[in-house]
């Protein structure tokens, strides 16, 4: 399970905008502070704007602002905006794929469980959770 660079960048961009507390964040500022290329920031911001996660402001003092409250944005919906589910879990989760051993493969079952757990954590985490003040301890995952 690995997120592509654009997905990772988009999550960091949303986190950056959420911590800006209503102040516009420029594309150049994001690229520099987040260590991303300007091309990646443009691509991610464009897709985030089309989906309503960001708003762009042109001109002097412009930049990007969150298009929705950070509490209303869960990470799963953002990841699904950028990732094809087959890329996150290349093993065919359905038994009707091209895999010759799908009917007896325990790896497929383990991947299905991992996918469900991964999705649950992303669904239960909001952009607001990522934007917690540095002094606030981060939410610790529950351990079984």
pLDDT in tens, the chain (144 residues): 678 899 999 999 999 999 988 899 999 999 999 999 999 999 999 999 999 999 998 888 889 999 999 999 999 999 999 987 665 666 654 545 567 776 777 777 787 788 889 889 999 999 999 887 543 555 555 544
This prediction's pTM: 0.79
Residue 136 pLDDT? 54
User: Could you give the CA distance from residue 94 to residue 109 in angstroms, rounded to a whole number?
Assistant: 10
For the CA atoms of 128, 134, 137, 142, the dihedral, rounded to the nearest 10 degrees, stands at 50
Residue 101 pLDDT? 73
Coil vs helix vs strand at 55:
strand
10 Å CB burial of residue 7 (0-12, 13-18, 19+) is: buried
Residue 134 pLDDT? 40
Q: What angle do CA 44, 47, 52 make, to 5 degrees?
A: 120
Domains of the chain: 5-130 (1.10.10.10)
Residue 105: C-alpha distances to residues 86, 91, 101, 111, 117 (Å): 17, 10, 6, 10, 19
């Amino acid at each position: 399970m690995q997120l592509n660079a654009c997905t990772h960048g988009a999550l960091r961009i949303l986190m950056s905008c959420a911590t800006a507390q209503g102040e516009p964040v420029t594309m150049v500022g994001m690229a520099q502070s987040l260590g991303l290329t300007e091309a990646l920031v443009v691509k991610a911001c464009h897709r985030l704007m089309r989906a309503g996660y960001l708003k762009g402001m042109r001109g002097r003092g412009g930049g990007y602002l969150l298009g929705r409250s950070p509490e209303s944005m869960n990470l799963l919906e953002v990841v699904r905006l950028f990732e094809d589910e087959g890329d996150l879990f290349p093993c065919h989760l359905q038994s009707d794929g091209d895999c010759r051993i799908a009917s007896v493969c325990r790896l497929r079952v383990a991947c299905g469980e991992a996918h469900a757990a991964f999705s649950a954590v992303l669904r239960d985490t909001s952009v607001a959770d990522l934007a917690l003040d540095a002094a606030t301890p981060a939410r610790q995952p529950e351990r079984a």
